[in-house]
């Protein structure tokens, strides 16, 4: 296989913040960037030589992108399978259709993980409100999730009682949905894995993640957890990556239950919010690693150079105080501000993040939380 060398053009299906940050990394390495996104004002536009504005099911537009790129990657899994096929006919598509197809439907993803024998919490594919009700009767508190397009806790409804099933079914649009038993979580971690076309892999140390109402608040690395749990999570993530045969990145989100069990929550075939600190504290950022993987270059070291942490900046920060107190926030030692260039703050919208490095995970997290406190 011949590597795709600097000077070549990388295409992105999706031009949100993940595409933007990957595009920055690719630009640093001398690649040219083209982006396809439904939003003409998408975050990656500022980094791209060309932005094609089209929905993710527009085959003609995707073919146009593919024809002018040496490789096409993606920053979002909700790309129509026919579009993935069309792109693959014209250029290298990495990750390819097969892993993305499995991952983009929550039920298909869970059933695949289950069939491969990976550890999961109890789940049911519900085809009616009655199925949802039966799941809650059997398992107690549950979360119903729409099969497609949910993110940051959107497209999810939490249920305690069987009587809530009809409303939950309605709220998710009256369509087949995934119902999961509510797991008793001790803590959440994720593991990022990179894989080249020939199968070489690089596994990152786990990140410890904290969510509020289904949306990531902070993430820190190294995760201060038992070393055996770290190793177990890394082997689990590597095994999934190998089995699904992805080229690029695979983020594996995990729960560690109050019983000490390690369960897979969900997969993402792309850069992940819980590894934004890799840009600060790790030898190779997830963004550079994606570029290396899809261009078939040697993968970078995943060594931790400095403990690092991030806090997400949602639209609420701007709604509370416009403009936020950037100068105060940046007085915190080791802190950095990352904004995605999005116009229009809305509640729950990811506008950017703060990061910090420190002597320890605790110090990095303390610093980034302090920086956040000073911002608004
Ligand atoms: P998203 O695609 O929005 O990230 P997730 O399925 O990862 O969706 O859910 C978001 C968060 O909601 C998780 O990180 C976790 O904190 C919580 N959550 C999701 N599923 C469960 C579950 N079965 N039990 C307990 N908490 C859950
Ligand atoms: Mg998630």
The model's pLDDT over 15-29, given as tens digits with 9 standing for 90+, comes to 999 999 999 999 999
The domain spanning residue 42 has which CATH number? Answer: 3.40.50.20
CA torsion through residues 29, 244, 122, 80, sign: positive
Query: Coil, helix or strand for 94?
Result: coil
| Distance from residue 193's CA to the centre of ligand 1 (Å) | 20
pLDDT tens-place string over residues 192-216: 999 999 999 999 999 999 999 899 9
CA torsion through residues 31, 37, 43, 45, sign: positive
Verify that 214 and 267 share a domain, yes or no. Answer: yes
Q: Is residue 115 part of a domain?
A: no
238-274 in b/e burial notation, b at 16+ Cβ within 10 A? bebbeebebbbbbbbbbbbeeeeeebbbbbbbbbbbb
Verify that 228 and 245 share a domain, yes or no. Answer: yes
**Residue 46 CB burial class (10 angstroms; 0-12, 13-18, ≥19):** middle
pLDDT at 1 over 80: no
- 97 Cβ inside 6 Å of ligand 1: no
* Nearest-atom index, ligand 1, CA of 153: 3
Q: Using CA atoms, how far apart are residues 355 and 183, in angstroms rounded to an integer?
A: 29
Q: Using CA atoms, how far apart are residues 251 and 249, in angstroms rounded to an integer?
A: 7
Output 57-60 pairs: Cβ under 8 A, ≥24 positions apart: 57/82, 57/83, 58/83, 59/83, 59/86
Q: Is residue 101 part of a domain?
A: no
Verify that 189 and 281 share a domain, yes or no. Answer: yes
Closest protein CA for atom 8 of ligand 1: 153
Verify that 254 and 207 share a domain, yes or no. Answer: yes
Q: Using CA atoms, how far apart are residues 15 and 50, in angstroms rounded to an integer?
A: 11
Verify that 31 and 50 share a domain, yes or no. Answer: yes
Query: Coil, helix or strand for 162?
Result: helix
- 158 Cβ inside 6 Å of ligand 1: no
Residue 45 · residue 39 · CB < 8 Å: no
| Distance from residue 63's CA to the centre of ligand 2 (Å) | 30
**What does the pLDDT average to over 283-292?**
98
Residue 355 · residue 317 · CB < 8 Å: no
Verify that 197 and 169 share a domain, yes or no. Answer: no
Verify that 274 and 258 share a domain, yes or no. Answer: yes
Residue 265 · residue 3 · CB < 8 Å: no
Q: Using CA atoms, how far apart are residues 51 and 35, in angstroms rounded to an integer?
A: 5
Question: Of the ligands numbered here, which is closest to the C-alpha atom of 213?
Answer: 1
* Nearest-atom index, ligand 1, CA of 145: 6
Verify that 303 and 172 share a domain, yes or no. Answer: no
- Residue 61, pLDDT score: 98
The verdict on whether omega for the bond into residue 95 sits within 30 degrees of 0, i.e. cis, is yes
* Nearest-atom index, ligand 1, CA of 181: 23
Q: Is residue 106 part of a domain?
A: no
Instruction: Calculate what percentage of the chain has a pLDDT beyond 70.
Output: 100
Give the count of beta carbons closer than 10 Å to the beta carbon of residue 361: 19
Q: Using CA atoms, how far apart are residues 83 and 299, in angstroms rounded to an integer?
A: 28
* Nearest-atom index, ligand 1, CA of 106: 6
- Residue 149, pLDDT score: 87
Q: Is residue 253 part of a domain?
A: yes
Give the count of beta carbons closer than 10 Å to the beta carbon of residue 371: 25
Residue 47 · residue 33 · CB < 8 Å: yes
Q: Using CA atoms, how far apart are residues 194 and 196, in angstroms rounded to an integer?
A: 7
> Which residue intervals of 75-204 are DSSP H helices?
81-90, 97-103, 106-115, 129-139, 165-171
**What does the pLDDT average to over 167-184?**
97
* Nearest-atom index, ligand 1, CA of 121: 23
The domain spanning residue 140 has which CATH number? Answer: 3.30.1490.20
Predicted TM-score (pTM) of this structure: 0.98
CA torsion through residues 288, 291, 297, 298, sign: positive
**What does the pLDDT average to over 169-185?**
97
Domain residues for 152?
122-181
| Distance from residue 333's CA to the centre of ligand 2 (Å) | 30
| Distance from residue 368's CA to the centre of ligand 2 (Å) | 22
| Distance from residue 110's CA to the centre of ligand 1 (Å) | 13
Please give the C-alpha separations between residue 303 and each of 25, 220, 253, in angstroms, as whole numbers. Answer: 18, 14, 20
Residue 224 · residue 208 · CB < 8 Å: yes
Counting the structural domains of the chain, the total is 3
Verify that 164 and 18 share a domain, yes or no. Answer: no
Closest protein CA for atom 11 of ligand 1: 214
Q: Is residue 257 part of a domain?
A: yes
Displacement of CA 65 from its chain's centroid (Å): 23
Q: Is residue 114 part of a domain?
A: no
The domain spanning residue 351 has which CATH number? Answer: 3.30.470.20
Q: In which residue are the tokens 């150079």 written? A: 305
Q: Give the end of a domain, one of 181, 208, 224.
A: 181
Closest protein CA for atom 19 of ligand 1: 214
- For the chain, the first-to-last Cα distance in angstroms comes to 51
Q: Which residues are annotated as a binding site for ATP?
A: 106, 145, 150-156, 180-183, 188, 211, 265-266
Q: Is residue 100 part of a domain?
A: no
Q: Using CA atoms, how far apart are residues 97 and 38, in angstroms rounded to an integer?
A: 20
- For the chain, the residue count is 376
Q: Give the end of a domain, one of 136, 162, 181.
A: 181
- 155 Cβ inside 6 Å of ligand 1: no
Q: What are phi and psi of 25, to 5 degrees?
A: -65, -40
Verify that 244 and 366 share a domain, yes or no. Answer: yes
- 215 Cβ inside 6 Å of ligand 1: no
Q: For residue 294, give the nearest of 150, 87, 137 by alpha carbon.
A: 87
Q: Which residues are annotated as a binding site?
A: 106, 145, 150-156, 180-183, 188, 211, 265-266
Q: Using CA atoms, how far apart are residues 332 and 374, in angstroms rounded to an integer?
A: 9
Q: Give the end of a domain, one of 181, 199, 230.
A: 181
Question: Of the ligands numbered here, which is closest to the C-alpha atom of 215?
Answer: 1
pLDDT tens-place string over residues 102-141: 999 999 999 999 999 999 999 999 999 999 999 999 999 9
Verify that 228 and 263 share a domain, yes or no. Answer: yes
Verify that 127 and 82 share a domain, yes or no. Answer: no
Q: Is residue 42 part of a domain?
A: yes
* Nearest-atom index, ligand 1, CA of 154: 3
| Distance from residue 215's CA to the centre of ligand 2 (Å) | 8
- Residue 153, pLDDT score: 86
- The interface predicted TM-score of the complex, written ipTM, equals 0.99
| Distance from residue 47's CA to the centre of ligand 1 (Å) | 32
| Distance from residue 152's CA to the centre of ligand 2 (Å) | 7
pLDDT tens-place string over residues 239-274: 999 999 999 999 999 999 999 999 999 999 999 999
């Amino acid at each position: 296989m011949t590597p795709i060398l600097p000077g070549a053009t990388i295409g992105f299906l999706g031009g949100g913040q993940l595409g933007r940050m990957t595009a920055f990394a690719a630009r640093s390495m001398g690649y040219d960037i083209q982006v396809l996104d439904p939003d003409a004002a998408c975050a990656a536009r500022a980094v791209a030589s060309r932005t094609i504005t089209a929905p993710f099911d527009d085959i003609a537009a995707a073919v146009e992108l593919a024809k002018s790129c040496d490789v096409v990657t993606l920053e979002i899994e909700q790309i129509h399978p026919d579009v993935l096929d069309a792109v693959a006919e014209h250029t290298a598509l990495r990750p390819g259709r097969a892993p993305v197809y499995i991952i983009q439907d929550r039920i298909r993803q869970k059933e695949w993980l289950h069939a491969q024998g990976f550890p999961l919490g109890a789940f049911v594919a519900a085809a009616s409100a009655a199925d949802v009700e039966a799941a809650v009767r059997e398992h107690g508190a549950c979360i119903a999730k729409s099969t497609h397009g949910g993110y940051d806790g959107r497209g999810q409804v939490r249920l305690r009682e069987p009587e809530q099933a009809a409303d939950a079914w309605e709220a998710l649009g009256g369509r087949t949905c995934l119902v999961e038993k509510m797991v008793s979580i001790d803590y959440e971690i994720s593991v990022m894995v990179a894989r080249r076309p020939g199968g070489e892999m690089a596994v990152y140390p786990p990140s410890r993640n904290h969510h509020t109402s289904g949306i990531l608040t902070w993430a820190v690395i190294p995760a201060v957890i038992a070393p055996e749990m770290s190793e177990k999570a890394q082997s689990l993530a590597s095994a999934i990556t190998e089995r699904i045969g992805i080229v690029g990145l695979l983020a594996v989100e995990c729960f560690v239950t109050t019983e000490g069990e390690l369960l897979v929550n969900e997969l993402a075939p792309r850069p992940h919010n819980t590894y934004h600190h890799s840009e600060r504290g790790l030898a190779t950022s997830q963004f550079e690693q994606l570029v290396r993987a899809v261009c078939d270059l040697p993968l970078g070291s995943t060594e931790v150079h400095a403990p690092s942490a991030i806090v997400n900046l949602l639209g609420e920060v701007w709604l509370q105080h416009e403009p936020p107190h950037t100068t105060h926030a940046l007085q915190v030692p080791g802190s950095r501000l990352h904004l995605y260039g999005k116009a229009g703050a809305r509640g729950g919208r990811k506008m950017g993040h703060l990061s910090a490095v420190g002597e320890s995970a605790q110090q990095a997290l303390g610093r980034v939380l302090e920086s956040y406190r000073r911002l608004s």
